[in-house]
Structure 1
Amino acid sequence: MIESTMQTVINIIAGAVISYIFALYRTKKKENDALRAGVQALLRDRIIQAYNHYVCEKGWVPIYAKESIDACYKSYEALGDNGVIDNLMQQLNDLQNYPPKDKRMRGEDNA
């Protein structure tokens, strides 16, 4: 009788521990997924801002900025979805690393 009771208590405790571990795992996974999505959104926003600034406004991109944008893109790509960002990066990478001659002559080469 005592052995049966002890076995039941052990089963209940083991079940509770397993349930707790599973619940903890699910909570951590949700937090991790949320952090991942947030970081990806920030990286995406930064790449789009850089695209708008350098491709749409300036027409060129300094080397230091291109390296920074590439680092953002590598992290963004490692997190999953790429979609339109691949095309934006291609356009950014196609830009020259110095201002056009007519802008350099007028002193409009500020990044």
Structure 2
Amino acid sequence: MAEIAAEWWLKWIFGLIGGGLIFVVRLLWRRQRATELGIQALLRDRILKAYYHYQERGTITLHGLENVDKLYEQYHNLGGNGTVTKLVHDLREMEVVDG
């Protein structure tokens, strides 16, 4: 009888531990994904602001172009693409000036 009770308790405890681990992993995965999507949205916003700024000026600085390229690289690594790719390509085609 004691063996049956001990076996039942062990199954119950391991079930709780396993369920808890699954819950924590899912929670961490959702938070990680939300963080990645949030960072991607911020990078997209920053690239858009740079695009409109330099389009209004008609030229882009070397540092501005380098900054946009670095932003875009990470944006792309996080899965971003589409319209922003076209905007970055347009920025790369602009005349580069100092200051």
Q: Scaled by the length of structure 1, what TM-score is found?
A: 0.85
Give the AA of the match of 1:47.
I
The match for 1:86 is 85
Give the AA of the match of 1:29.
W
Alignment of 1:19-58 (within 5 A): 19-55=19-55, 57-58=56-57
CA RMSD of aligned residues (A): 1.2
Q: Deviations over 1:18-46 (max 9, x none)?
A: 00000001111111111111100100000
1:81 deviates by 2.6
Q: Deviations over 1:39-69 (max 9, x none)?
A: 00100000000110112x0111100111111
Q: SS of the residue aligned with 1:32? A: helix
1:4 deviates by 1.1
Name the CA distance, whole Å, in 1 between partners of 2:58 and 2:5: 78
Name the CA distance, whole Å, in 2 between partners of 1:40 and 1:89: 15
Give the AA of the match of 1:30.
R
Contiguous gaps of at least 5 residues in structure 2: none
Larger Rg: 1
Question: Runs of at least 4 residues of structure 1 off by over 3 A?
Answer: none
Name the CA distance, whole Å, in 2 between partners of 1:95 and 1:88: 11
Name the CA distance, whole Å, in 2 between partners of 1:65 and 1:84: 19
Name the CA distance, whole Å, in 1 between partners of 2:82 and 2:90: 14
Q: Scaled by the length of structure 2, what TM-score is found?
A: 0.95
Q: SS of the residue aligned with 1:12? A: helix
Once the two structures are aligned, what percentage of the paired residues are identical? Answer: 31
Contiguous gaps of at least 5 residues in structure 1: 100-110
The number of aligned residues is: 99
Q: Deviations over 1:64-92 (max 9, x none)?
A: 11111111000100000311011001000
Higher strand share goes to which structure? 2
